């Protein structure tokens, strides 16, 4: 079984003027596709791994029977595939954060504004390429905000992803150039609570 690019449930221009159509098109049809192609290529060597869902491979990275360099490829390319699959859902204009989770966010961070502030600070501080995540700690079920490098996904740490923001330059450079805070601000205009 080969991994495939999931169809976007909305048009590339659906998030205008906050996230521009050209960025969406490149991000989905080129960047996400490239992660999938490279993942499929590395998995050609490992028939046993081909039928397993990507979340499962990434939560079990250490135990995968694969060469170290290939394990790194699965981590990076597979992480890229999973992260972007989630990201398109977070950005979906028809998607809204679960009400129970929203309540939990308020009780954990004080208010929705406090949550956004903490998440934004984390995202602003991230050095290099990576993502800011709101995740549920796999051990104590608490909500935490954490930056993860490159294409790492919370599942690799035994946590559950709730909301993630792509902070690779390819996610915003076309429209916002080096103005990452402006991109983050626009993300909050797109994401619905
Ligand atoms: Mn990306």
Q: What is the pLDDT of residues 139-151, one digit of tens each?
A: 999 999 999 999 9
Considering the domain architecture, whether residues 85 and 106 belong to the same structural domain is answered as: no
CA 107 to ligand 1 centroid distance, Å: 30
- Domain enclosing residue 176, as ranges: 99-190
Q: What is the pLDDT of residues 4-34, one digit of tens each?
A: 999 999 999 999 999 999 999 999 999 999 9
Last residue of a domain, one of 91, 114, 133: 91
Considering the domain architecture, whether residues 62 and 118 belong to the same structural domain is answered as: no
Mean pLDDT value of segment 36-42: 98
CATH of the domain at 186: 3.55.40.20
Sheet (strand 143-149) strand order = 143-149, 130-136, 160-166
Q: Is the pLDDT of residue 89 over 90?
A: yes
CA 161 to ligand 1 centroid distance, Å: 16
Considering the domain architecture, whether residues 49 and 106 belong to the same structural domain is answered as: no
Give the separation between CA 72 and CA 14, rounded to whole angstroms: 34
CA 133 to ligand 1 centroid distance, Å: 14
Considering the domain architecture, whether residues 155 and 81 belong to the same structural domain is answered as: no
Q: What is the pTM of this model?
A: 0.97
Specify the pLDDT at position 119. Answer: 98
- Beta carbons within 10 angstroms of residue 147's beta carbon: 17
CA 32 to ligand 1 centroid distance, Å: 7
Cβ-based neighbours of 124, under 8 Å, separated by 6 or more: 180, 181, 184
Instruction: Name the pLDDT band for 193 (thresholds 50, 70, 90).
Output: confident
> Residue 15 falls within a domain, yes or no?
no
């Amino acid at each position: 079984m080969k991994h495939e690019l999931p169809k976007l449930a909305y048009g590339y221009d659906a998030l205008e003027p906050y996230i521009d159509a050209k960025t969406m098109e490149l991000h989905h049809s080129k960047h996400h596709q490239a992660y999938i192609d490279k993942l499929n290529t590395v998995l050609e060597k490992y028939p046993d791994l081909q039928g397993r869902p990507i979340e499962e491979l990434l939560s079990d990275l250490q135990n995968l029977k694969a060469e170290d360099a290939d394990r790194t490829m699965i981590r990076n390319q597979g992480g890229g595939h999973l992260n972007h699959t989630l990201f398109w859902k977070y950005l979906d204009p028809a998607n809204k954060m679960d009400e129970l989770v929203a309540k939990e966010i308020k009780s954990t961070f004080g208010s929705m504004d406090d949550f956004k502030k903490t998440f934004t600070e984390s995202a602003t501080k991230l050095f290099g390429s990576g993502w800011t995540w709101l995740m549920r700690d796999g051990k104590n079920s608490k909500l935490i905000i954490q930056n993860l490098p490159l294409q790492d996904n919370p599942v690799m740490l035994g946590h559950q992803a709730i909301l993630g923001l792509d902070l690779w330059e390819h996610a915003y450079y076309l429209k916002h150039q080096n103005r990452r805070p402006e991109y983050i601000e626009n993300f909050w205009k797109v994401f619905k609570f």
